[in-house]
Amino acid sequence: MSFLRKLFGSKKQDEPAPVAPAAPPHAEKVASGSSRAQVGWVSDVGKQRTTNEDSVLVVQASQEGNNALPPFTLLILADGMGGHQSGEVVSALAARSMARHIVQQVYLSALAHRDHGAQQPSIQETLVEGSNLANSTVNATVPGGGTTLVCALLLGSRAYLSNVGDSRAYLVASNGLQQISRDHSLVDRLVELGQLTAEEAASHPQKNVLYRAIGQSGVLEVDTFVHSIQPGEGLLLCSDGLWGMMSDEQMGQIIAAAASPQAACEALAVAANQAGGRDNISIVLVQFPDSS
């Protein structure tokens, strides 16, 4: 259906589209679930740990029909910190708090009202609020616990991302992976500045020190990003159990060779385990349909 018609609306889908002389023509498309973004995911304990302290949460919603809402896809990945508090409890709690807030504020609110307005926070604010909610929930429920939290909200062709910690978000483009998020890790910062080599960083005593994490007290700074996604592109979220075991290039090759997002996630987990599987491996991959 034409965009104009879809939003403003003829009464039935099978009516001919009204003539729109000045508007660029839109191809008629059959509405079906196959046109939505495809999601794959994996969360694996790895080779050397006994528990999986990562959490993955995916929500997808689509509507077809008169004045339909844009497709909604929410991806959340959290990597809990070990030690005295159970990381898996903290990461799951953070992921759920974040998901609840975004679904309520964005999707449930859009189901209720078609007009958008200033009485609602912007999407960027909603992501920051969700991360803060996860932070305060963790502080109140599991004091001393900590987790990373990376989130991607896809609405139509735009991706809204937020990040705290060193789990990563990548844009999967035809020419490979581009990291969108920035790790909040001290050692990475030093490598970035040329103060440490990658080898020095790997053995640095502070290599696992994050300078930002969910669960910290005080003000939580949340990074946010907005990206336009082209047809055929994808987004990858992963914990350091994946990106710490192989290069971005290797990850990109495995994704490009896979038949589906789910197959890609599974192949990535196998490769990370083959490389040693030092940590829990969590991966979420969403692939947008090619334009028709």
Interface residues toward another protein, by CB under 8 A: 3-4, 7-8, 18, 20, 22-24, 49, 53, 70, 79-84, 87, 114-125, 144, 146, 148, 155-158, 160, 166, 184, 186, 189-190, 193-196, 200, 204, 206, 208-213, 215-219, 221, 224-226, 228, 240, 279-280
Least CB distance to another protein at residue 129 (A):
13
Taking alpha carbons only, the member of 100, 96, 74 closest to residue 147 is 96
Give 234 or 241: the residue with its C-beta nearer to another protein: 241
Q: Indicate the residue among 20 and 256 with the shorter CB distance to another protein.
A: 20
Distance spanning both ends of the chain, measured CA to CA = 12
C-beta separation of 169 from 148 below 8 A: no
Least Å distance, CB 261 to another protein, is: 24
220 DSSP assignment: P
**Least spacing, CB of residue 241 vs another protein, in Å:** 9
Kindly tell me which of 31 and 123 has the beta carbon lying closer to another protein. 123
Say how many C-beta atoms besides its own lie within 10 A of residue 50's C-beta.
6
Provide the minimum distance between the beta carbon of 260 and another protein in the complex, in angstroms, as a whole number: 27
**Cβ atoms 236, 284 nearer than 8 A:** yes
- Neighbouring CB atoms inside 10 A of 128's CB total 18
Q: Report residue 76 as tokens.
A: 């959340």
| Both structure tokens of 255 | 């994704």
- How far apart, in whole angstroms, are the C-alpha atoms of residue 189 and residue 195? 9
- Quote the least distance from Cβ 127 to another protein, whole Å: 10
Shortest Å distance, C-beta 253 to another protein = 27
- Identify whether the C-beta of residue 170 lies closer than 8 Å to the C-beta of residue 215: no
Of 14 and 115, which has the nearer Cβ to another protein?
Answer: 115
For another protein, the closer CB: 48 or 247: 48
Q: What are phi and psi of 50, to 5 degrees?
A: -95, -25
Q: How far is residue 139's CA from residue 4's CA, in Å, rounded to a whole number?
A: 47
Give the burial class of 134: count Cβ atoms within 10 A of its Cβ; 0-12 exposed, 13-18 middle, 19 or more buried.
buried
Q: Which is nearer to another protein, 65 or 121 (CB)?
A: 121
Q: Which is nearer to another protein, 216 or 262 (CB)?
A: 216
Least Å from the CB of residue 35 to another protein:
16
